[in-house]
Chain A
Amino acid sequence: MALAILCLFKCDEKWPVNEELLNSGSTDISGSWSISKVEQNEIDISDNYDFNSFAIALNYGNGLPADFSIITEAPVPFLTSHSTGSWHFDNELYPSKIYFVNGDTAISIIDQPLLTTGSEELHLEFNLGCSDVSYVYYLTKNSTL
């Protein structure tokens, strides 16, 4: 019944719903992610800057988003300036935003239907201080050892 009511309010949302994940009740993007492509104002700037050494680990605890950590050799601008902290979705079932928290809260729009891509790719859209300059980071999940 709860799901049916949710559906009344949510079925017109932007992203299609994956029933399987919906039933499992969680969106799991745990793991380590690297940058495969960066767009600035819809222009591909991947080759203009060294994004290669950047990796962000998104960890879960008790099945829920918990902490994150960022490791990078060359400094890479990211929506949070902290290298560790906690993270969560705006909505576990239908995430459209990710919050990275460490003192201040940085918000990123998830620019992709998270629930239907097998969670191997993650697109994050955000600003770095100027609302006229938008970034989309295309993250790819690193293979687990």
Chain B
Amino acid sequence: MPVVGFLVPKSWNARANTEMSIASDVYNSTMSPMIEGAIEGNGGKPWSETLEFSYGTGENYDPTKMEWVMFMADDPYDHNPAYLPIYGTVNIETVVGPDNITAQLGYFIGENDFGIWELNENQDFRLGNCIEITGGTGAPINYCGPEPAPGTSVISPDVFSYNDLLKITFDASIGANDEVTRLSGASFVYYCAEATLNDGTIISVCDKSDKTSLNFIGDDIWEITVWPKDIFGLNTTNEISMITYNFQDQNGSNIVRDFSTGENFTMIASCQ
């Protein structure tokens, strides 16, 4: 049976949201998701693991956010060499997830009856261009772009909803080009944030008050714990679609944003 591997963001849940078929002059079949963990016969490991090991996860900087989803033809084809090779087309129709993601998708075609035999060239693998999903919810996430600045600002817990208490840690010593940020050695640091609501309304908070003042922990490390509902004065956090923020000193002459993007930091509610 022909198998097709499809490299997609996990959040798309492509196993449940994809229709696939294979078409050629001599052979046509619908395709169905393989059971998770289905084994690639030659190496003896699951197909998706084998593809990740052999072909990786493309340019996407966080492999844990991507998955190889496996599909197999419902009808067998004729193995008789006289009929091979078959030139055909695989049609893939998938529903993207809710997030504004840019990601690189990947495609593998192979053979389940015998598994991957490099010498027989009974498989092929291609990466597509990075594609951008727009019109979704939340801050844009570009898996193909530079990884967000590691360590300058960290949110805890790492999986959360906008109704949780969120601790934001700011390390003023981690700036661009291995230099410190403009707030290194500052006496006061404030949290300035913008919440975008589902209807497009933007609520800004940058009042330099006790409530938005970070606590100095030591060694250029600052912390603040916020409850978005409170800090943005909302009745419910259900309507928040994204939150971005930066750090500033008292008069706003020094502002620290995410140096890898040049934009504000993002708080992305990741709770499924």
A and B from one assembly? Answer: yes
Residues of chain A whose beta carbon lies under 8 Å from any beta carbon of chain B: 40-41, 45, 48-49, 75, 77, 81, 128-133, 135
Q: Which residue of A lies closest to B225 (CB)?
A: A48
Q: How far is the CB of A62 from chain B (nearest CB, A)?
A: 34
Among the listed B159, B223, B225, which residue makes an inter-chain contact with A132, where contact means beta carbons less than 8 Å apart? Answer: B159
**B125 at interface (Cβ–Cβ under 8 A)?**
no
Instruction: Check B163 against A129 for contact (C-beta < 8 Å).
Output: yes
CA distance A45 to B160 in the complex (A): 15
Given contacts A48-B167, A129-B162, A129-B271, contact A77 B229 (CB under 8 A): yes
CA distance A63 to B72 in the complex (A): 64
Say what secondary structure dominates the interface of chain A: loop
Say yes or no: A75 contacts B160, CB within 8 Å: no
Does B37 touch A at the CB level, under 8 Å? Answer: no
Is residue B188 within 8 Å, beta carbon to beta carbon, of the partner chain? Answer: no
| Cα(A133)–Cα(B227), bound, Å | 14
| Contact in complex: A130, B271 (CB < 8 Å) | yes
Query: Considering only CB atoms and an 8 Å cut-off, how many residues of chain B contact the other chain?
Result: 18
Chain B residues closer than 8 Å to A130, beta-carbon distance? 159-161, 163-164, 269, 271
B46 part of interface (Cβ distance < 8 Å): no
Residue B157 at the chain A interface, CB threshold 8 Å: yes
User: In the complex the two chains form, what is the Cα distance from A130 to B40 in whole Å?
Assistant: 37
With A and B bound together, what is the CA distance between A40 and B161 in angstroms? 13
Pick the residue among B163, B165, B237, B269 that contacts A49 (CB under 8 A): B165
A132 to B161, CA, bound (A): 9
Contact present for B223 and A128 (CB under 8 Å): no
Bound Cα distance from A130 to B155, whole angstroms: 15
- Known A40-B165, A77-B165, A129-B164; contact A49-B225, beta-carbon cutoff 8 A: yes
CB distance from B53 to the nearest CB of A (A): 29
Known: A41-B157, A132-B271. A75 touches B165 (CB 8 A): no
Nearest Cβ distance between residue A9 and chain B, in whole angstroms? 36
Cα distance A49–B160 in the bound complex, in angstroms: 17
Mark out the residues of chain B between 226 and 244 whose CB falls within 8 Å of any chain A CB in the assembled complex: 227, 229-230, 236-237
